[in-house]
């Protein structure tokens, strides 16, 4: 009985240790997750501004500039990915560039500008998440 209990205890400790080790290995490179979190934050701030009807041109420009910078880091954040993923990242970068070329002056224009960005994000997440 004692041997069986110790074997079960050892097995449970081994499983818990393996789970912790696997999580640590998965979290080893925080760059991909960080890029996505920062992009999500800036796109979320733009969406919040639209909902609150407070579409300040300067803040919109700041968030779009940050999105442009982060969208350039998407492909490098995921080394060794397939060409379709890189093309999707380039498409996202192009959508953000288009929105930034003519910074939306009002909420209706901002809504129209961020819709293609959100669509590009969503299509990529549906394929590769």
Domains of the chain by residue range: 30-128
- Distance between CA 40 and CA 8 in Å, rounded? 44
pTM exceeds cut of 0.85: no
Per-residue pLDDT of the chain (129 residues; tens, 9 = 90+): 888 888 888 899 999 989 888 887 776 778 888 999 999 999 999 999 999 999 999 999 999 999 999 999 999 998 888 899 999 999 999 999 999 998 888 999 999 999 999 999 999 899 887
Axis-axis angle for helices 83-101, 57-72 (nearest 10): 160
Backbone angles phi and psi of 4, in degrees to 5: -65, -40
- The domain made up of 30-128 has a fold known as 1.20.120
């Amino acid at each position: 009985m004692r041997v069986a209990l110790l074997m079960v205890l050892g097995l449970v400790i081994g499983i818990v240790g393996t789970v912790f080790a696997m999580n640590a290995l998965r979290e080893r490179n925080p760059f991909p997750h960080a890029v996505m979190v920062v992009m999500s934050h800036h796109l979320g701030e733009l969406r919040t501004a639209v909902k609150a009807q407070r579409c300040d041109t300067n803040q919109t420009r700041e968030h779009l500039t940050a999105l442009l910078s982060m969208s350039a880091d998407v492909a490098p954040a995921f080394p060794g990915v397939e060409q379709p993923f890189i093309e999707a990242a380039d498409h996202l970068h192009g959508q953000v560039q288009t929105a930034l070329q003519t910074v939306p002056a009002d909420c209706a224009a901002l809504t129209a500008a961020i819709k293609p960005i959100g669509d590009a994000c969503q299509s990529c997440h549906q394929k590769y998440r």
